Amino acid sequence: MTFDVFEQVMNRIDQYIEEMVTFLGDLVRIPAIGPRSGGDGERRRAEALEDRLRSWGFQNISHHDAVDEMVPGGYRPNLRLDLKGKTSAERLVIIVHMDVVPPGDLSQWRSDPFSLVGSEGKLTGRGAEDNGQALTAAVFAARAMKDLDLVPERDISVFFVSDEEETNEKGIGHLLKEGQIRKGDLILVPDHGEPEGRMIELREKSLLWIKVVVKGKQCHASMPHLGTNAFRASMIFGSRVDKSLHERFAGKDDSFDHPFSSFEPTKKEPGVGGINILPGEDAFYFDCRLLPVHSRDEVLSEMERLASEVGKETGTIILTETVLSESTLHPTPPDAKIVILLSNAMRKASNKEPFMGGIGGGTCAAMLRNAGFEVAVWETILNQAHAPNEHILVANMVSDCKVMAALFMEP
């Protein structure tokens, strides 16, 4: 790659800025929420994405859809865009996800979550950061290569996957079963980072989602002696679990963006419909992120012990169910080839010196690493994922696009 060619690519990306914003806005307008979060899945967004890619002349697009009877149409889409490189001896793989989380409490949003709103270089909308910015950057990096008739150094496959926000089973898990990810692939997952865009994530905390169901006895709230209040038992159990887990698993690892394990009560199932009803059943969830030194089995054992203890005290039955359990068994080594190539691209395109770290947020990189692949996770983000008024900076999206394009050309 000569300096003149590099400058041509960088300049072409600058010319795309308005189109990039429009493209991201078109995606944000199509909610792509998974069925476990009350949505219809990613099909409409995938169709719009494929239509746009084909309108720009991309033809090497393949489908790798996963059967899912929980969504209309019965499948979750996974798309693959291929660019032919100078060599097929190795392949650069970029993995971005199409799905988003629900907007949450709409009263906390200053604008429609599913309408991209721009102001002073900032773009606000659900999924703008997670994972719209990276998806847009990857698409326009590929478009720059195509529009300039440039051939990347090696074959490139950009995967647009479903189900990253829920289980990964219908997305990257399905692709792994199909053999779409191959031994020797150089894999980038642009789905986490920090505001300076310097951190390359090499490992993640173990992830544990637990559903708690408390069974009591429903009755009229004016006669509590006739029933057993499941909601009260939930509060006691939740408080005791929160205190015990934080005390027992109190390790610290400064290489992670949040250096401690976390144990957060999150989703709450709807309860009784009336104020004057004593609830006979209650259900809620814990999201646990564990440092590598801690065991998921130990956490589950402690929760079960407390469930038995609180159940006896309150006269309830407390059940715990594992909804999702993931651990990163094989962190990516800092001298992995994808890490070296990405570091070089960052220095050339953004003049930034990378550093290595770990994160608590789960990405599909964890599943890939557990399958034996070396993966780099990187992006320039404001850590707005899942928050109300989720937003990005246009400058970060453009800069990330340039880094990806430089990566395509890195020998």
196 in catalytic set: no
Both 83 and 37 in one domain: the answer is yes
Task: Give yes or no: residues 211 and 344 share one domain.
Answer: no
HSE-CB at 60 with a 13 A cutoff on CA atoms is 13
DSSP 223-283: -GGGSB-HHHHHHHHHHHHHHHHHHHT--B-TTBSS-B-EEEEEEE----S-TTEE-SEEE
The residue from 326, 361, 377 where one domain ends is 326
Same domain, 45 and 150: yes
pLDDT at 237: 98
Check if the beta carbon of residue 115 is closer than 8 Å to that of residue 29. Answer: yes
| Lowest-confidence pick of 55-69, 217-231, 326-340 | 326-340
What is the amino acid identity at position 118?
G
State how far the Cα of 45 lies from the Cα of 5, in Å rounded to an integer. Answer: 33
Query: Residue 293 burial (CB < 10 Å; 0-12/13-18/19+)?
Result: exposed
Q: From the candidates 42, 99, 282, 410, give the one annotated as an active-site residue.
A: 99
As for how many domains the chain has, the answer is 2
What is the pTM for the complete model shown?
Answer: 0.85
Range of the domain at 166: 3-204+328-409
Do 225 and 246 have their domain in common?
yes
What is the Cα–Cα distance from 151 to 411, expressed in whole angstroms?
12
Q: 317 and 365 in one domain?
A: no
- Rounded to a whole number of angstroms, the distance between the first and last alpha carbons of the chain is 8
Q: Does residue 101 sit in the same domain as residue 191?
A: yes
Closest by CA position to 257, among listed 299, 297, 198: 198
Q: Which of 326, 356, 386 is a domain's end point?
A: 326
Residues 154 and 174 in one domain: yes
Query: Quick check: 381 pLDDT over 90?
Result: yes
DSSP 9-77: HHHHHHHTHHHHHHHHHHHHTS--B-GGGT---SHHHHHHHHHHHHHTT---EEE--EE-TTSTTSEE-
**Given the residues 155, 164, 185, 191, the one annotated as active site:** 164
Whether pLDDT at 361 is above 80: no
What CATH number is attached to the domain comprising 192?
Answer: 3.40.630.10
Q: Residue 314: which CATH number?
A: 3.30.70.360
* Residue 362 scores a pLDDT above 90: no
The reply to whether 99 belongs to the active site is: yes
Looking at the fold, whether 99 and 193 belong to one and the same domain comes out as yes
CA separation for the pair 270, 282 (Å, rounded): 8
Asked if residue 95 has pLDDT above 70, the reply is yes
Q: Which residue among 302, 326, 350 closes a domain?
A: 326
Tens of pLDDT, residues 292-340 = 889 999 999 999 999 999 999 999 999 999 998 888 778 999 999 999 9
Mean pLDDT for 233-242 is 98
Same domain, 312 and 363: no
